[in-house]
Chain A
Amino acid sequence: MYPHERSLVARMKDKPFTILGVNSDSAKRYKTAIKENEITWPSFWDGGKTGGPIATDWAVRGWPTIYILDTKGVIRYKNTRGKAMDEAVDALMEEL
């Protein structure tokens, strides 16, 4: 997970792209995780539990849950991972 995300972020450097997390860890765990895994992208912090307000609004029942949004904020892909995530991001990039 983390290595793939790091490489995607590196590949999209200088392009209109971001990973935006919604994190459900305790504050302490989250802070350790970003250090240990070199997580450079921002995250909302969802109150330290899986039933936090953002996850509830988004009806998230499993983690990780992924949505890919285009530049207008429209939901374009759901739960696309690994290679398929790269392809999805590339496809959206080509639309620009």
Chain B
Amino acid sequence: MGIGSAFPNIVENTIQLKKVNLLIIANSLHGEIPSRSQCRIQFDTNSLIDTHSICPYKDNMIRKIIPLTIAMMIGFHPVASMAQDTSGPTISKIIETHEDAVEVLYKKMRGKSREEQQKLYEAEYPKPDQAIESITALVLTNPGGSASLDGIDWLLRYSGQKGIDPALYNVLETHHLHSEKLQAIVLKMARSRTPETQNFLTTVSEKSKIKDARGAAILSLMKRIERDKEKEDEHTALSKTLFAEHADLIINGRNVTKSIKAEEKLAIGKVAPEIIGKDVDGKEMKLSDYRGKIVVLDFWGDW
């Protein structure tokens, strides 16, 4: 297989190695472990926090072993890597490998019929599961590193509604609450429906020293409930805070407050704003000229 052929091997071997390492630690260092198989199963499911609580002795070992083994596999000099933060380059490498594989597939899909594209996509889209697992482990291993934010940013893009590992919210809150990069992260949380996301967004909106991140957190909190009729009051309260304190918030080149107010004017039940314009020959036209008629207003283009 052509796509990302090197990458799954690295990850798979790494996971294998992690298991082996754990067994080695379990066998050699401690006679009294709660249950070796328990630890191993916990570790397989990649919840390091859970593993930590069950197998507390692993903490330091995991910090050293995972970066070391991964670094060895992708060819860093182990000693030099140990001295620095190895999770950083490893995280960016994993992300790059995945994105490259996706790009290869998209190139292949270009110019094909819609049916062929669908088939190709289903057959060859590189599943992000292993990358998600590896990056999550690396971030938890070196939570304060600058690459951990990039890792979490990527994880949010790929985890959809089920959300990222809850332990990552602790990482964000403890190490990155005042980071300039936090805005992009909280904006991606509007899709996730977990209570951890809700709590974290509330924390950011109240405590982050970065104003743009606070504003974006409020916006994400609003987006999460915008279709929930029961939470209209909450939504109104949030939008009041947003308009009062973040009138100048700009996201993707748009002033957020202005966009929201424009969209409110365009809600069902509101009188349509007047349009004064010209047709393609320069003749003046007004929307209100068509009062008395049912109007299908169609924003269109022939492309």
Q: Which residues of A contact B (CB under 8 A)?
A: 1, 5, 8, 12, 16-25, 27, 29-33, 37, 42-46, 50, 53-55, 57-60, 63-78, 85, 89, 92-93
B299 touches A65 (CB 8 A): yes
A20 touches B280 (CB 8 A): no
B298 touches A73 (CB 8 A): no
Q: A96 to chain B: closest CB distance in Å?
A: 8
A74 touches B279 (CB 8 A): no
A43-B293 contact given A30-B302, A58-B266, A65-B299, CB 8 Å threshold: no
How distant is the Cα of A67 from the Cα of B268 in the complex, in angstroms? 9
A33 touches B302 (CB 8 A): yes
| Inter-chain pairs besides A22-B300, A66-B296, A77-B268, 4 sampled, C-beta below 8 Å | A20-B287, A58-B266, A74-B272, A75-B267
For residue A25, which residues in chain B have a CB less than 8 angstroms away from its CB? 301-303
B297 touches A73 (CB 8 A): no
Say which size band chain B's interface belongs to: 20 to 34
Q: Which of B268, B290, B298 is the most central at the interface, judged by chain A CB atoms within 10 Å of its CB?
A: B298
How distant is the Cα of A69 from the Cα of B288 in the complex, in angstroms? 11
B295 interface residue per 8 A CB criterion: yes
How distant is the Cα of A24 from the Cα of B280 in the complex, in angstroms? 10
For residue B291, which residues in chain A have a CB less than 8 angstroms away from its CB? 71-73
Q: A37 to chain B: closest CB distance in Å?
A: 7
Q: A91 to chain B: closest CB distance in Å?
A: 10
For residue A37, which residues in chain B have a CB less than 8 angstroms away from its CB? 302
How distant is the Cα of A57 from the Cα of B259 in the complex, in angstroms? 9
